[in-house]
Amino acid sequence: MARSTKASNAVLRLKDRSNQAPYSMVSTSDGRFYLVLASNTEAPEQLNEPLEIDAFVSFVNSVAKQAPRKASKLDIAFEEKLQRSGKKPE
C-alpha cells in the first residue's frame, strides 16, 4: 500500500504543478506503474512504459516544471554572500 501511496502522491504533485491536468496512474499486476493523460479522445494517452516505483516517481517529477524552492531571507543572504566570495552553494 505504501508503494502506491508514494506513486499517487507524485501524481497529485504533478496535477498541482500542471493546473489540474487530467493525469492518472495505472498500476500493473506485476507492481509497476505508468502515467496516463486523459484527452478528448476515447482512450487516455499512455505517457511511459510500466516502471518500478522509484523510476516512476522520478519520471512523474520530470514531467512538469517543479515548484520553486522556498528560501528564507537568511538563506538568500547566505547565497548572495557565497556568490560574492566566488563560491557556489551546495
pLDDT tens for 49-66 read 999 999 999 999 999 876
pLDDT at position 72, please?
Answer: 85
Q: Is the pLDDT of residue 69 over 80?
A: no
Domain assignment present for residue 36? The answer is yes
Domain assignment present for residue 28? The answer is yes
Domain assignment present for residue 7? The answer is yes
Domain assignment present for residue 18? The answer is yes
Domain assignment present for residue 90? The answer is no
Contacts of 39 (CB under 8 A, 6+ apart): 22, 45
Retrieve residue 88's grid coordinates: 557556489
Total domains present in the chain: 1
Its domain, for residue 30, covers 2-85
Q: How confident is the model at residue 71 (pLDDT cuts 50, 70, 90)?
A: confident
Domain assignment present for residue 60? The answer is yes
Residue type, 40: N
Domain assignment present for residue 48? The answer is yes
Domain assignment present for residue 65? The answer is yes
- Give the helix ranges, DSSP H, for the chain: 2-17, 53-63, 73-85
Retrieve residue 16's grid coordinates: 498541482
